[in-house]
Structures are given as C-alpha cells and as structure tokens.
Structure 1
Amino acid sequence: MATASETKATRRDFLYVATGAVGAVGVAGVAWPLIDQLNPDASVLALASIRFDIAPIVEGSSVTILWRGLPVFIRHRTEAEIEEARAVPMADLKDPQRDEDRVVEGHDQWLIMIANCTHLGCVPVGEAGDFDGWFCPCHGSHYDTSGRIRRGPAPANLVVPPYEFISDTVVQIG
C-alpha cells in the first residue's frame, strides 16, 4: 500500500534557496563586466556610420573621404558616364553587375565605392585607365565608370558600401 508523505519546508530548505539566489546574483555580477567589455569602443561606434554633404561636389568630379579607416570614393557622374556604364554588355565584365545595382535608385549620378583595389588593396587613381574610370597603377587593374573591373588581375568590382540618402544633399554611409 502506498503512503503519501507530507513534506514540510524547513529552515535548511530556505537556506539552500537563499544561498543559490545569492550565488546566482554574484556570478551575474562578475560575468557582466566581462561580457560588457566585449562591446565595441565608443570611437569604433562613432565611425560605424558617417554623414557627408555632397552638395559641393560638382558634376564630373569626385572626392575621397574616410569611413571606418577606409578611403571611399564619392563620384558625381555625368550623364555620359552613366550611359557609358549602362551600355557595357554583361559578357564583357569579369564580375558581372549592372550599373543600376551599384547606385541608389533616383540618385544614379552618385557612385559611392570603397577605394581599395580588390586585387591587393591599393587605392586606384580616378579618371584614368582604359575605360575612363579608375586605374590601379600597382598591378594594372582597370575599372570602368561604374567601378566594375574590366581588365587586370583584380577579381571583383570595387565594393559598394551600405549607404542611403538622408536628403538630396546628405548621404549616410554605414
């Protein structure tokens, strides 16, 4: 025959629970600073995104700015440069990508790219090379007016960072 036994909370049970709770709070108090120190520094967070006023950049010229320690080209393209970039057949490209996919819709005249050659990280020279885009003099990579690799050892197009237009004259990168 089974018997039901009643359990009665004792002082010892209370001490076990209280000790466990204090121990858990103590472990959390020690672990929190260790976990919190893994967060990025304030200087890194400040560089995570940058806003830049593009109004002074005249059509047909470009500027180079720094974002996260990387040079970034901001090019105000002419209508002829845009048409030239869009007329290139995809079969002629080492890394096929449409010009429309490299710019923000409605702001086709603005091309924003990280200014590091995808071969070995050199900074290409603007408005140079066989395709009137960028030329990396270190190893001879030629990029077109959309920053796409056309000739040379570079394996990929110049990288387009994440960006958005805050207004007609201010762009936020990152």
Structure 2
Amino acid sequence: MGVCCSQPARSGSYDFKSNYAAPIVENVLFFPDGKMPCRSIMGGNNVVCKRDVCVFTITCNEIADEISAAHKRGVRVRIITDDAQRAAQGSDVDRLKAEGIAVRDDGVISGYMHHKFAILDKTILLNGSFNWTRHAVLGNYENIVVSNSTMLCSTFQGQFEELWLKFDKALSSNLQYV
C-alpha cells in the first residue's frame, strides 16, 4: 500500500476494520505509489453499510469500479462533487449516478466544491490532498490521513450532511447563491 507511518508498505487491498480496532488510530498514506491500486484506498469489501464521498472529482476508474461494486453489494453510497468536474471528460461520476448511486453537485454556487474526504461506515475517515484520480496515485505528491477518531468522523459526517442538504436541487432551486 502507500507509504504509511505505522504500517509497512505492501500492495493489495487494505483491511481497514481489523487494522483500526484501537480506540483512535491515525495513519498517513503518501503518494505517488505505483504499487498501490486506486481501489484499495476505499476499504474494499470491509465497508458494509455506508460510504459518503465528498470530492472535487473522480477520474480513477479503479476507485469508481470499487464504489460501484460496493453499491451493487448493497452498501449505501452518496457522492458530492463539483458541478464542472462532474461533466468533465474522464469523470466517472455520471456513470456512477446512472448505476443508481446518489450524486449531488454544488450547482450554481460560486467557488469549487474542493473537499477530498470520505466517511466509511461512519467510523473511518479518509481525508487529505489526494485527488481521486489515477495521476494522484501514480504521479502527484499527495496524502491521505486515515482515522477512526469518533470526533473527526462525526465532524466530517456533519459537514457531509450539511452539504448534502444544501446541494439538494429540489430544496435549493429557488435560492440565489452569491
């Protein structure tokens, strides 16, 4: 996997559940890392209930395929993304939406939806500079902090819920954003 501060480098999917049994664990993954497939950052089959993803873009097909597979297994998946990036060439977001995954974007709101975080089963937070692109894994200097801190997970989950409501087009269609 990526270069970690507490785990040796290895390739393959990472078993988040068994590696994060301690009360508070924080780990850092550094990129580029040609040994780490894109899909292994999302917890593989270890995520059983819910994935909330809030990212600027998703263009790494392996990450998108892993998200799709989780959805097909019955994992509840919600994605918030930037409206311009959603429609950009190479984006996997509309494909995921077509497969039935709930997707919202920032629409007419000025500025970018530039977050890069995911909450897995409400208990694991992935957050950092990591763009969800193939180039982020293989070319860019990026990082992901992985934590099971209840406080961090709860705080990021709150931010996700706030944005999920804010970007609901049915609720916000009559609002003006500056």
Please indicate, yes or no, whether the TM-score normalized by the shorter chain is above 0.5.
no
Q: Relative contact order: is structure 1 or structure 2 higher (C-alpha 8 Å, sep ≥ 6)?
A: 2
Q: Which has the higher helix share?
A: 2
Place the TM-score, normalised by the shorter chain, in its bin.
Answer: under 0.3
